[in-house]
Structure 1
Amino acid sequence: MTTLSEPQVQQRSASEDSRLRVVLMLEIQDGAQQRFLDVYEQLRHQVASVPGHVSDQLCQSIEDPRQWLITSEWDDQHSFLTWVDSPAHREMVKPMHGCVSDRFRSMRYSILRETSAAHGATGSRPPVEVPAGTPRPAGRPGMPQAVPGPDGVVRHALTFTVKPGSERKVAEILSGYASPKAEVDENTRLLRTSLFMHGNRVVRAVEVVGDLGAALRHVAMQPEVRAVEEAINPHLEEHRELGNPEAARAFFARAALPAVHQAVPATPPRGNLRRHALLYPVRPGHGAAVAELLAAQDRAALADPTGPVAASTVFQREDGVVRLVDLRVPAEDHPAAALGVAGEREAAELARLLDLRPEVDLRTVAGMGRALAHCDMHPLTDRSSQVS
């Protein structure tokens, strides 16, 4: 991950297709360490959804606690430079500027050789032991990286808006497509796709076992899916060209809504579950706090195997927060569980972070009902893919 803008390299080197290592050396201002950690915690989830990003690490000096190091790995130079030169990057890193002194240094290196248990020794040192079960990135440019939940399922979401007035037509198009085949390759399978609308905003959530990037490429190539995407293109507020690799990368970067918290059991919950997606009206600058609060309450709710909440995933990017929740009861029968409100104290804290109407009091059943009616997204499709 990189967090501070600087003059960019204009020429691409001969090793432009090699993976890239970015090293950012920082000095944190006195008294700003916790604020820096809070900002980094939010930024790292946002950066993880950028096409071409593989991984990053945050390190603190053992000799001088003011000195910090952020290293990140990228699929190639172009992925990194496209992002770091973008307006989205400049907006993303603004909160970091108040924590970091002017003394920082950014360095970029092409990765030419690597030593690991998977690749064997490529230098003079012995192979590095990699712990069993460590997730490995897909390593394909332009595709998001994601970490599986406790059940081994990778979850990711995309969101975009359509032109006002076209909502009904878009809903009809998105409700009518055939599910793509589940099997992608010997290691990857598409499990489920859920689509929702709220006003003119569309959210598509996918669940995958294996390589998320491979699954997304597989879906994009299916004729039935391509026909649907072409049909809704004229209705989009922001133009996209999925047939153009560069334009597609830019679209997936804008649309990515990563799963930042997953409260799911290790084995799939049983019974007749009802899936809801809730779009929360977050006050500016409080997206990460809302996501963490909802996730903490869902983790506590999951401790009761017979309780109303069977599983939930919180997707968040900046102030966009969507919570996908599987309920054992109708949402209107248990609005607190549907909204992610555990008690009066949690309700008051959530209300402080949300931009709610004055008549919406999350401490009352009636107020929670009004909030649920406002946040609950309209379901379009919720399908498990068929195995070929």
Structure 2
Amino acid sequence: MTTMSTPASDPLTRQVSHQVSQSVFDGSRLRVVLLVEVYDGAQQQFLETYEQLRSHVESVPGHISEQLCQSIENPSQWLITSEWESAPPFLSWVSSEEHVRMVKPLHSCVRDTRSLRFHVVRETSHPTAGAEPARGGLQTPRIGDGVIRHALTFTVKPGSEDVVAKILADYASPEPQVDDTTRLCRTSLFLHGNRVVRAIEVRGDLLAALRHVAEQPEVRAVEEAINPYLEQDRDLGDPESARVFYTRAALPAVHHVTAGERDPAARRHALSYPARPGCGMRLAQLLAEHDEAAADDPRSAVLCSTIFQRDDVVVRLIDVRGDLAADPAVTLGLPDAGRVAELTTLLDGPAPADTSAAEGGVLARALEGARMEPVTDRRSPDA
């Protein structure tokens, strides 16, 4: 019989709010599982490429261990698992341009891949003399709402924003039911300058939903129509070009919290927080901490918040009751005015000369500057 190495009452276990259904900031260890299907006859090329990747990832901060496994039933199926001290260092590495370049040689020998990421909640232990204890802590299981949240972001050529907004708004919604277990719930699209952000909510299998949407004729027509306006060239007919584009466009959800209330009159807004180089993850964490604290305040106009982050792009999607500008501090995710100064050190741009005035006009101007223009917000009938 095995025993759990860290019982639920252990102080190392991270206690999490029942209102937070998703977060990468709880400090628990991360297990990454990559399912790989290799082309017949390409195993040697796959192994050589993997060895180059492995020798590099061993030096990435936060990486603990890695295993490469081959199926005993189908030699074309491989499994790569890695363990990380926590989610942030992995997400920083996997979203880097260096990682995009390093995995490119894999594409010629791999038919399909699927990446899964898990927090370590419980584990068995077989102590070995002299072995160091695993770094990172365990957490209590989260109670989710069954919804997966994800976003894509890309930039368009300056001056084309109005044309792109019209193209993205004027298309027929795809069929929301993907299969027996997967359904599209909501798609929200925003513009901030020349940056487009498309956030989606899915029940079931996110990958199946993304593939389903990409195959819809009306969606493909829209994607082709905006191609001439993109700052990053892509050819959706070329699998490699499409793969690189969507890899760079991925904007993962790193935190979601809800106040536990529903209001049919609530409106969805998006706020963009451009971070200083290298400060995106810390900025997202600061906003997450503030939103989690504010979720317990019945006076808050923010009913739920999802924070998306990749590199120095940080987007906060909020459902708000009443006027967005009624309380700029809370709407911006800064109920604690005393920490506004920290936010200014993380944002890309000049800090206000007098942060003591932040609760007045400075916050109002910051809210206006962060506010993204809504393009479309669509819900499926039974979302």
TM-score by length of structure 2 reads 0.67
Tell me how far apart the structure 1 counterparts of residues 367 and 118 of structure 2 sit (CA, whole Å): 37
Residue matched to 1:246: 240
The Cα shift of 1:318 comes to 1.8
List gaps (5 residues or longer) in structure 2. Answer: 1-31, 33-52, 59-69, 101-112
Contact persistence 2:190–2:374 (CA under 8 A) = yes
Residue matched to 2:347: 354
The Cα shift of 1:207 comes to 0.4
Residue matched to 1:144: none
Does residue 367 of structure 1 match 2:362? yes
Tell me how far apart the structure 2 counterparts of residues 160 and 240 of structure 1 sit (CA, whole Å): 12
Aligned length: 292
* 1:283-362 aligned within 5 A: 283-305=276-298, 307-359=300-352, 361=355
RMSD in angstroms over aligned alpha carbons? 3.3
Contact persistence 2:329–2:359 (CA under 8 A) = no
Tell me how far apart the structure 2 counterparts of residues 340 and 68 of structure 1 sit (CA, whole Å): 31
SS for the counterpart of 2:235 is coil
Tell me how far apart the structure 2 counterparts of residues 358 and 264 of structure 1 sit (CA, whole Å): 30
Distance 1:261 1:149, change over 3 A: farther
Contact persistence 1:196–1:377 (CA under 8 A) = yes
Tell me the alpha carbon deviations over residues 21-43 of structure 1, each in whole angstroms, 9 at most, x when there is no partner.
2558xxxxxxxxxxx95xx5323
Residue matched to 2:200: 206
Distance 1:153 1:367, change over 3 A: same
Tell me how far apart the structure 1 counterparts of residues 200 and 214 of structure 2 sit (CA, whole Å): 13
Tell me how far apart the structure 1 counterparts of residues 54 and 278 of structure 2 sit (CA, whole Å): 17
The Cα shift of 1:357 comes to 3.1
List gaps (5 residues or longer) in structure 1. Answer: 8-12, 25-35, 70-133, 135-147
Contact persistence 1:173–1:231 (CA under 8 A) = yes
Tell me how far apart the structure 2 counterparts of residues 4 and 314 of structure 1 sit (CA, whole Å): 33
Tell me how far apart the structure 1 counterparts of residues 57 and 87 of structure 2 sit (CA, whole Å): 22
Distance 1:169 1:183, change over 3 A: same
Residue matched to 2:87: 41
Residue matched to 1:237: 231
Choose which of 48, 54, 62 in structure 1 pairs with 2:116: 54
Tell me how far apart the structure 1 counterparts of residues 300 and 57 of structure 2 sit (CA, whole Å): 51
The Cα shift of 1:310 comes to 0.3
Residue 302 of structure 2 aligns with an amino acid whose one-letter code is V
Residue matched to 2:372: 377
- Greater relative contact order, per chain length (Cα 8 Å cut-off, separation 6+): 2
Residue 373 of structure 1 aligns with an amino acid whose one-letter code is E
Residue matched to 2:56: 5
* 1:56-205 aligned within 5 A: 63-65=130-132, 150-205=144-199
The Cα shift of 1:180 comes to 1.3
Tell me the alpha carbon deviations over residues 173-216 of structure 1, each in whole angstroms, 9 at most, x when there is no partner.
11111211211111011010001111111000000010011111
Tell me how far apart the structure 1 counterparts of residues 177 and 144 of structure 2 sit (CA, whole Å): 21
The Cα shift of 1:283 comes to 1.5
The Cα shift of 1:335 comes to 1.0
Residue 79 of structure 2 aligns with an amino acid whose one-letter code is L
Tell me how far apart the structure 1 counterparts of residues 176 and 57 of structure 2 sit (CA, whole Å): 44
Residue matched to 2:249: 255
SS for the counterpart of 2:77 is coil
